[in-house]
């Protein structure tokens, strides 16, 4: 099968294992494309894509825009802080006004959980969720798994620990779904205040000792401490957080084995990860960024394929 | 479903030798020439020709690439079945090179049109030629003709020309069958 079972990419939880396979195989081809002297294919010449970012983003927005342009789609960008949203327009009105300009695919980041699902029920376009609140960020999870697959050959059977601010992280939730779908084992590690209570219901074990977590795993996916989402104090001080949960070369050297280090970015250098680790050979942080373009090209291509003319 | 054999393995072997000789006539030692098979079906022919040129005709340093044209096709979103891509294996640039595109059957010419667009991503070649095993000459949608051809076939549109290779189907043969 070379088709997706879903009509939109709203979250990893709606995907089947075969969907991930199809996306990764297609991404392999696009990875070859983006390493050519001319990194562009004409497939989506007659498709228009709107990137609607109601929340700030640098990497994801650039990555999506580049993926769209490399597929030759027409792209329009929208950021909430310079728009009529501030004048009180509703989400459906905003999007329908954009769709009136004949847009086929909407890539949306929104602060509210479920914004993508809501939109998919009310507007006539393909929706790709680029992050909805603290819920899901499916393309990030896909590119994370794709990067693990590239580095270790497969995701199945691997042990991945997600470290840090799991509570506020859509990356963590999408990653848990994606990794389990592919047969990996997942643990989370962080201050108990930043581990959601429901986490065990997802079949994920909690480890509060960083050293033990690292000794167990093949891959450590280090999350950013999301200060901007913390309305109360979740840990006494950044210094204490770094001492207990920060990844540095010293703790990695003490493991007696190599593990793969990932980070979805942006990095707080010296907080959740030290600079020498982030820039080391065990870190695949920049591979994640490169793979992000290929994976997003694959998702957009596969969804666009369903749009009949 | 009736089918008749157009070429058997002996016929194909003779044709491959002739095509190899025609290529040598124009490209000498292949120092500035690259062969590019179109994925998936043209790759078998391209690999076979490259092997023949190396072993029987002692051509050294022959460069062979396999090109997938899926993302350049003009029927994206026009078909009910999805277009699934194959791997491209192009480990060289074609800037100022002579390119020989290789496919098994030339029918509408649309694949070749797509290949001509795809190949631009790897540089500006000196020229591009086309080699096909079977040329279905009355079925073209575009003004595209082969430079080298194995056999010309005047099949009607309801007929299908099917090439099998021993790598995948145990024997080399070309069949013609009613759709």
**CA B168, B169, B173, B174 torsion: positive or negative?**
negative
- The verdict on a CB contact (< 8 Å) between B123 and A43 is no
Q: Which residues, at least 6 apart from A109, have a Cβ–Cβ distance to it below 8 Å?
A: A52, A53, A54, A55, A57, A60, A61, A129, A130, A131, A132
Decide if B79 touches A, using CB distance below 8 A.
no
Is B122 part of any domain?
yes
Range of the domain at B128: 30-158
Helices and strands in chain B, H and E counts:
4, 8
Q: How many C-beta atoms lie closer than 10 Å to residue B92's C-beta?
A: 13
What would the pLDDT profile of A14-62 be if each residue is shown by its tens digit?
999 999 999 999 999 999 999 998 899 999 999 999 999 998 888 899 9
Give me the number of domains chain B comprises: 1
Is B113 part of any domain?
yes
Decide if A2 touches B, using CB distance below 8 A.
yes
- The answer, yes or no, to whether residue A73 has pLDDT greater than 70, is yes
Q: Which of A244, A238, A228, A232 is nearest to A271 (CA)?
A: A238
| Cβ neighbours of A28 in B, within 8 Å | 87
Portion of chain A with pLDDT greater than 70, in percent: 98
- The verdict on a CB contact (< 8 Å) between A37 and B123 is yes
| Shortest CA gap A186–chain B (Å) | 32
CA quadruple A107, A147, A305, A136: dihedral, nearest 10: -40
Is B167 part of any domain?
no
- The answer, yes or no, to whether residue A277 has pLDDT greater than 90, is yes
- The answer, yes or no, to whether residue B138 has pLDDT greater than 90, is no
Is B126 part of any domain?
yes
Collapsed DSSP state (helix, strand, coil) of residue A163: strand
Is B109 part of any domain?
yes
**Tokens, residue A139:** 């393309």
What would the pLDDT profile of A128-186 be if each residue is shown by its tens digit?
999 999 999 999 999 999 999 999 999 999 999 999 999 989 999 999 999 999 999 99
Give the CA diameter of chain B: 47
- The answer, yes or no, to whether residue B63 has pLDDT greater than 80, is yes
Q: Which residues, at least 6 apart from B151, have a Cβ–Cβ distance to it below 8 Å?
A: B6, B7, B15, B133, B134, B135, B174
- The verdict on a CB contact (< 8 Å) between A29 and B123 is no
- Per-residue pLDDT at A35: 92
The lowest-confidence range among A47-61, A63-77, A137-151, A289-303 is: A47-61
In B28-172 the beta strands, taken as DSSP E runs, fall at: 33-38, 63-67, 98-106, 127-136, 148-153, 159-164
Q: What is the CATH number of the domain that holds B38?
A: 3.40.50.2020
Is B18 part of any domain?
no
- Per-residue pLDDT at B81: 81
Query: Nearest Cβ partner of A41 from B71, B77, B122?
Result: B71
- The verdict on a CB contact (< 8 Å) between A37 and B88 is no
Query: Nearest Cβ partner of A33 from B71, B76, B86?
Result: B71
Q: How many C-beta atoms lie closer than 10 Å to residue A235's C-beta?
A: 18
CA B159 – CA B177 distance, rounded (Å): 5
Cis amide bond preceding B40, omega within 30? yes
What would the pLDDT profile of A187-224 be if each residue is shown by its tens digit?
999 999 999 998 999 999 999 999 999 999 999 999 99
Nearest CA in chain A to B94: A37
Decide if B120 touches A, using CB distance below 8 A.
yes
Collapsed DSSP state (helix, strand, coil) of residue B136: strand
| Shortest CA gap B110–chain A (Å) | 15
Is B55 part of any domain?
yes
Collapsed DSSP state (helix, strand, coil) of residue B62: coil
Query: Nearest Cβ partner of B87 from A3, A29, A40?
Result: A29
- Per-residue pLDDT at A227: 80
Nearest CA in chain B to A44: B76
In B51-172 the beta strands, taken as DSSP E runs, fall at: 63-67, 98-106, 127-136, 148-153, 159-164
- The answer, yes or no, to whether residue B157 has pLDDT greater than 80, is no
- Per-residue pLDDT at A64: 97
Q: How many C-beta atoms lie closer than 10 Å to residue A102's C-beta?
A: 9
| Cβ neighbours of B121 in A, within 8 Å | 33, 36-41
Query: Nearest Cβ partner of B77 from A28, A32, A309?
Result: A309
Structural contact between residues A108 and A129, judged by C-beta atoms closer than 8 angstroms: yes
Decide if A295 touches B, using CB distance below 8 A.
no
Give all domains of chain A, ordered by start, each with its CATH number.
Answer: 12-135+289-304 (3.40.50.1370), 138-284 (3.40.50.1370)
End-to-end CA distance of chain A: 22
| Cβ neighbours of B75 in A, within 8 Å | none
Burial of B115: CB neighbours in 10 Å, binned 0-12, 13-18, 19+: buried
Decide if B85 touches A, using CB distance below 8 A.
yes
Is B72 part of any domain?
yes
Q: Which phi and psi (to 5°) does residue A110 adopt?
A: -145, 150
């Amino acid at each position: 099968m070379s088709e997706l079972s879903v009509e939109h990419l709203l979250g990893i939880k709606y995907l089947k294992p075969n969907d991930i396979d199809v996306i990764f195989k297609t991404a392999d081809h696009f990875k070859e494309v983006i390493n050519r002297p001319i990194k562009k294919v004409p497939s989506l010449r007659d498709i228009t894509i709107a990137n609607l970012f109601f929340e700030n983003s640098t990497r994801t927005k650039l990555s999506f825009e580049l993926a769209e342009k490399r597929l030759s789609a027409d792209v329009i960008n929208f950021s909430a802080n310079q728009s009529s949203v501030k004048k009180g327009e509703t989400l459906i009105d905003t999007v329908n006004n954009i769709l009136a300009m004949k847009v086929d695919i909407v890539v949306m980041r929104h602060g509210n959980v479920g914004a993508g699902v809501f939109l998919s029920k009310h507007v006539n376009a393909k929706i790709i969720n680029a992050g909805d609140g603290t819920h899901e960020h499916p393309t990030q999870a896909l590119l994370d798994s794709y990067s693990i697959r590239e580095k270790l050959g497969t995701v199945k059977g691997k042990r991945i620990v997600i470290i840090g601010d799991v509570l506020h992280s859509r990356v963590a939730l999408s990653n848990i779904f994606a990794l389990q779908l592919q047969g990996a084992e997942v643990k989370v590690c962080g201050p108990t205040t930043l581990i959601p209570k429901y986490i065990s219901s997802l079949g994920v074990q909690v480890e509060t000792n960083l050293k033990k977590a690292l000794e167990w795993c093949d891959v450590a996916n280090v999350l950013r401490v999301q200060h901007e989402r913390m309305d109360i104090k979740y840990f006494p001080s950044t210094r204490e957080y770094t001492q207990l949960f920060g990844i540095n070369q010293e703790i990695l050297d003490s493991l007696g084995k190599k593990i793969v280090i990932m980070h979805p970015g942006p990095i707080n250098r010296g907080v959740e990860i030290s600079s020498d680790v982030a820039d080391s050979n065990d870190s695949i942080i920049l591979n994640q960024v490169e793979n992000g373009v290929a994976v997003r090209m694959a998702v957009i291509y596969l969804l666009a394929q369903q749009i009949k003319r | 479903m009736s089918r008749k054999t157009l070429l058997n393995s002996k016929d194909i072997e003779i044709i491959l030798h002739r095509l190899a000789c025609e290529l040598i006539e124009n490209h000498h030692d292949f120092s500035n020439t690259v062969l590019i098979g179109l994925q998936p079906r043209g790759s078998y022919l391209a690999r076979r020709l490259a092997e023949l040129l190396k072993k029987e005709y002692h051509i050294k340093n022959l460069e062979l690439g396999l090109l997938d044209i899926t993302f350049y096709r003009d029927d994206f979103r026009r078909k009910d079945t999805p277009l699934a891509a194959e791997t491209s294996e192009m480990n060289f640039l074609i800037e100022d090179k002579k390119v020989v595109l290789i496919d098994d059957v030339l029918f509408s010419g649309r694949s070749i049109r797509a290949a001509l667009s795809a190949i631009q991503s790897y540089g500006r070649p000196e020229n591009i030629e086309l080699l096909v095993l079977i040329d279905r000459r009355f079925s073209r949608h575009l003004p595209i003709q082969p430079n080298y051809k194995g056999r010309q076939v005047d099949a009607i549109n309801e007929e299908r020309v099917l090439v099998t290779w021993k790598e995948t189907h145990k024997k080399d043969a070309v069949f013609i069958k009613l759709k």
